[in-house]
């Protein structure tokens, strides 16, 4: 019988499946970034934000990608996201 480690690794590993606990709704992502829903969708389509689909087929934004965009600053979001 194989042994399973109960310790949690601190190294980044590929994620299998959706991580709902580490994602937010489109509305919440827009609120956190201080932009519109349209800008969030534009950031998703341009590859700046990564999402997962829930079993109910709704789309959620991964917090990791949201933090990367927020760290770059929100002043240029409208230019990056395509909103004018």
Q: For 39-55, what is each residue's pLDDT tens digit?
A: 999 999 999 999 999 89
Stretch 7-15: mean pLDDT: 43
| Residue 73 structure tokens | 């600053």
Asked if 54 and 19 count as a contact pair (C-beta separation under 8 A), the reply is: no
Architecture in CATH of 20-81: Orthogonal Bundle (1.10)
- Residue 12 confidence class, pLDDT cut points 50, 70, 90: very low
Nearest to 48 by CA among 27, 72, 14, 25: 72
Residue 34, φ and ψ in degrees, nearest 5: 70, 40
Check the CA dihedral 15-58-34-45 and report its sign: positive
Query: Full-prediction pTM beyond 0.75?
Result: no
């Amino acid at each position: 019988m194989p042994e399973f480690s109960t310790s949690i690794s601190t190294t980044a590993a590929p994620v299998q499946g959706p991580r709902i606990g580490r994602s937010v709704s489109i509305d919440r992502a827009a609120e956190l970034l201080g932009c519109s829903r349209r800008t969030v969708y534009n950031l998703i389509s341009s590859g700046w934000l990564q999402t997962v689909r829930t079993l109910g087929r709704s789309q959620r934004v991964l917090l990791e990608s949201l933090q990367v965009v927020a760290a770059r600053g929100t002043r240029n979001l409208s230019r990056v996201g395509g909103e004018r």
